[in-house]
Amino acid sequence: MIKIEKVSKKFKDLAVLKDISLEINKGEVIAIIGPSGSGKSTLLRCINLLEIPTSGKITINGVELLEKGTEVQKIRQNIGMVFQHFNLFPHMTVLKNMTYAPMVVHQISAEEAEKQAIALLERVGLQEKVHEYPSKLSGGQKQRVAIARALAMKPEILLFDEPTSALDPEMVKEVLEVIKSLAHTGITMVLVTHEMGFAREVADKICFLDEGRVAEIAPPQEFFSSPKSARAQQFLDKVL
C-alpha cells in the first residue's frame, strides 16, 4: 500500500535520508526505531509530504506522490497524523477540533460530524471533555484527542511521530493503550517511537534506521532477540 523507493532527503548540505526503500502493506503496523538524528521523523513526514524528498519515489495505493499533478491535499486526507506535540488547535474546543476537518474537507454536516466526534471521543475515553478547550486537558488527554481527531477523517493510514515523547511518564500508558486498540483493525500504522517494549508488542515489522539508512527490517521477535546488524545490536544494548 505504501511503497518507498530510494528516497533521499537533504536539508541544505546535510543528508538526513539516504536511499531509503521500504514497503508497508495494508493493515500492517510498522515501527520505525533508531538513534536520535537517524531520520525517523523525517522519513515519516515524507509519507504525507510534510517533507518533500530530494529524490526517490513514494507510491500510496498506486498513486505516485511526487509526480506533478498529484493532488497532495487529497492524499493527505487519507493519511492521519499524530504529532509529538499534539498540535491541537488551541482556539477550538475538543469537539470543534474534531469536527473541523471533516466538515471543511469532507463537507459532512455538523450533526453528522458531531455524532461521529462524540463516538470517537468515547472510544478514547474522553467523552466528558467534548466542550473543553485543549488548554484544560492533560498531555495524555490531548494526545488521545489528537488521535481521535486524526481518526475523524477516516484515514486508511495513520502516522505517529513519537506520540509519547512529550508526555509525563504517568500518561504514556493511556496513550499507548489507545494506539494499541487501533492496531490490526484494518488501518495501516507507521509508528516512530522510543518505546521499545511497545514496538515489540504491537508492530508487525521493525524498521531500524541508522544515519539516514535502513539498517535492518525484521519482525519484532527476531529484531529484538537477535538483530543482524551491528548497529542495531549496539543500539539495543544501550536502550534495553
Q: Which is nearer to other proteins, 8 or 87 (CB)?
A: 87
SS3 58: strand
HEC per residue, the chain: CEEEEEEEEEECCEEEEEEEEEEECCCCEEEEECCCCCCHHHHHHHHCCCCCCCEEEEEECCEECCCCCCCHHHHHHCEEEECCCCCCCCCCCHHHHHHHHHHHHCCCCHHHHHHHHHHHHHHCCCHHHCCCCHHHCCHHHHHHHHHHHHHCCCCCEEEEECCCCCCCHHHHHHHHHHHHHHCCCCCEEEEECCCHHHHHHHCCEEEEEECCEEEEEECHHHHHHCCCCHHHHHHHHHHC
In whole angstroms, give the CA distance from residue 129 to residue 107. 24
Q: Which is nearer to other proteins, 1 or 153 (CB)?
A: 153
Which residues form the interface with other proteins (CB under 8 A)? 48, 50, 73-74, 76-81, 83, 85, 87-93, 100-101, 104-105, 133-135, 149-150, 153, 159
Shortest distance (Å) from residue 75 CB to other proteins? 8
Quick check: 205 and 218 in contact, CB under 8 A? yes
Q: Which is nearer to other proteins, 43 or 196 (CB)?
A: 43
Shortest distance (Å) from residue 103 CB to other proteins? 10
